[in-house]
A and B are shown apart, each in its own frame.
Chain A
Amino acid sequence: MAGGESETNASLNNNGVEAATEELPGEEEEKGSGLRFPLARIKRIMKADPELGLASQDAVFLVAKATELFVESLALEAYHYTSQSKKKTVSRRDVDHCIDAIEALAFLDGAMD
């Protein structure tokens, strides 16, 4: 987790502001299994929920991987609607369509502004 933490701190120091885009070298060890999202960030998002107790590193790993799979699923699914409507650009409406159509995504309904 040390590598992930330094990514977060370094971003704050360099820009004075959370640099949401940069990933620094030294995270390679954590991402050895091909993870794209920094564990430290995932953990911070999880911890933003005050009800949440402790989570093992394995658990955070799994949340990270599941989130990647989620992005892929959602993007792919949205693209289906894009191509159906013969458009070339995936629009917000395509993503909304997914949220309406897929039961597992019902939790997103009304959670978005």
Chain B
Amino acid sequence: MQDHCSLFIFSADHFKQKSEKFKAMSVSSDQPDDELTIPRAAMNKMIKELLPNVRVANEARELILNCCTEFIHLLSSEANEICNQQQKKTINAEHILMSLDKLGFGDYRADAEAVLKDCKAMAAKKRRKSTRLENLGIPEEELLRQQQELFAKVSFRMIISNRWYVE
């Protein structure tokens, strides 16, 4: 345990040595997430669609899979640095896009930004959808008015029932 801790601290100090840092992470068996990869089937499906009549060796698949994990870490780290430099608390979309440019993956920007637009459109759609379901299309002011009416009714009924009870 002590060795793992010191190895981790060493790696934290040498943040710029990113590959060492991630070696430390995988050495420590305390982290259940160190074997995490993207789902194999999803990746295989993508490759199959891209190269339909091509065989891909399992070793090659395994390597690509692991490269993906490294890529995610690289991209996230870079975005994290940019985020910190901007003294922001949350890594946002722009940080990721800047990281892509910085890391030599600027080609991905156009497709990535297109996805972002879809994401926002979906999120807006979801919000409208849930609003519709909850309120049955009734605007907020109307709902408030109805709510107040209900409260008024309830109070009146309670007053009446109390009176009866008393009598």
Contacts and interface: CB of A to CB of B under 8 A. Distances in A.
B68 A67 contact: yes
A89 B70 contact: no
Main secondary structure of the interface of B (DSSP, over half): helix
A94 B108 contact: no
Contacts of B122: 29, 32-33
B115 A103 contact: no
Interface of A: 18, 20-23, 29, 32-38, 41-42, 44-59, 61-63, 65-76, 78-79, 82, 88-92, 94-96, 99, 103-105, 107-108, 110-112
Given A44-B33, A71-B68, A95-B64, 4 more contacts: A41-B38, A61-B116, A62-B93, A67-B71
Interface of B: 12, 15, 18-19, 21-23, 25, 31, 33-43, 45-47, 50-51, 54-57, 59-60, 62-64, 66-77, 79-80, 83-84, 89-93, 95-97, 100, 103-105, 107-108, 111-112, 115-116, 118-120, 122-123, 126
